[in-house]
Amino acid sequence: MTVWERLRNPCGWRAGAKQISVDAMLPLVVVPTLAVIAAQAVLCTIIVFVTTPILVYYLYHNFLRFLLRTKFFLMWTITSVLMLMLVFEISVVPLLEILPEENLLFMVCVIGGIWCGYRAKLNADYAAQEGVLVQGLELGEGSGELCTACRRRAPPRAHHCRLCQTCILNREYHCKWLDCCIGSSNLRWYLGCLFFSAIAFIYGSNLTMTSVCHPFILIGTVLLPDDCSDVYHQLDIALCFVSALYSLLVGLVVFCYLMYHLWLLYQGTTSNERRLDAGSQYDHGILKNVSRLFCCKT
């Protein structure tokens, strides 16, 4: 806390000095550093990809979970997207292996994912602020069960979020990576973000790998990487390859979440309701800790 108080950025704004949160600034240094380390050799790549989730879990379990609204995961998302875009446009596109229409499709998906994610967070913040403003209602007003935290009657299928400090209608979970609650107010934007992001991450990864590796033709004009044994001979090519691996892993995770939420919509339920129905099977053990780290906060 002393370090946080000392890290202030003097500026010319009327409000005076602005406090810089260490947890929000950490990903700006950690993510690019890990990418450069992973690009040194095959062994370094394996070590970084294995130890990074453990390191993030250690930081969360010992420090970040004590912060009410940490920006660490949101800044990790922003830093990762910016880094992958810069590597693709600065290092991969100049190799002249990618067609202009392929680059255009990739950028459309990236911009679509960013816009949908922004709208999802904006709608969630607006709904949370609106919910906080009406917390002064008397206990007899409204409908549904009485929320002991809000001290008011919430609508049916609304659940309280301790981070947003209000009840969210059709609440899924509090997404760490967007730093907002997912509910009825922003679910469609969140699904759009998952859809465009999954395409951008996986498609961008394939374009990068087929540019820096020796590709082979799968069907028609569809290329897949074949031999990537010589990518570590040059640092910038190795950085492209590591970024492609990172993008592929993230894209697969995002795609799984998209399929999961589409399945929940088909079932007519939410992930929060499924957790509540699961009861004690989900309320303890390492499963809860892992889900809180890489997925959400209950």
CA–CA separation, 24 vs 161, rounded Å?
22
> Could you give the count of Cα atoms lying within 13 Å of 288 in the half-sphere of its Cβ?
12
Which residue ranges make up each domain of the chain? 23-136+146-276
pLDDT of residue 296: 57
- The mean pLDDT of the chain is 81
Q: For residues 267, 270, 273 and 277, what is the CA-based torsion angle, rounded to 10 degrees?
A: 40
Please tell me whether residue 82 adopts helix, strand or coil conformation: helix
Distances (CA, A) of 222 to 37, 207, 216, 217, 254: 31, 10, 9, 6, 22
Q: What is the pLDDT of residue 54?
A: 92
Task: Give phi and psi for 86, each to the nearest 5.
Answer: -65, -45
Cα 127 to Cα 280: distance, rounded to the nearest angstrom? 30
Note the pLDDT of residue 68.
76
Q: Are 169 and 185 in contact (CB under 8 A)?
A: yes
pLDDT given for residue 140 in this prediction: 43
* Beta carbons of 195 and 254 less than 8 angstroms apart: no
* Residue-level pLDDT at 227: 81
Spans in the chain with pLDDT lower than 70: 1-20, 128-146, 148-154, 220, 278-298
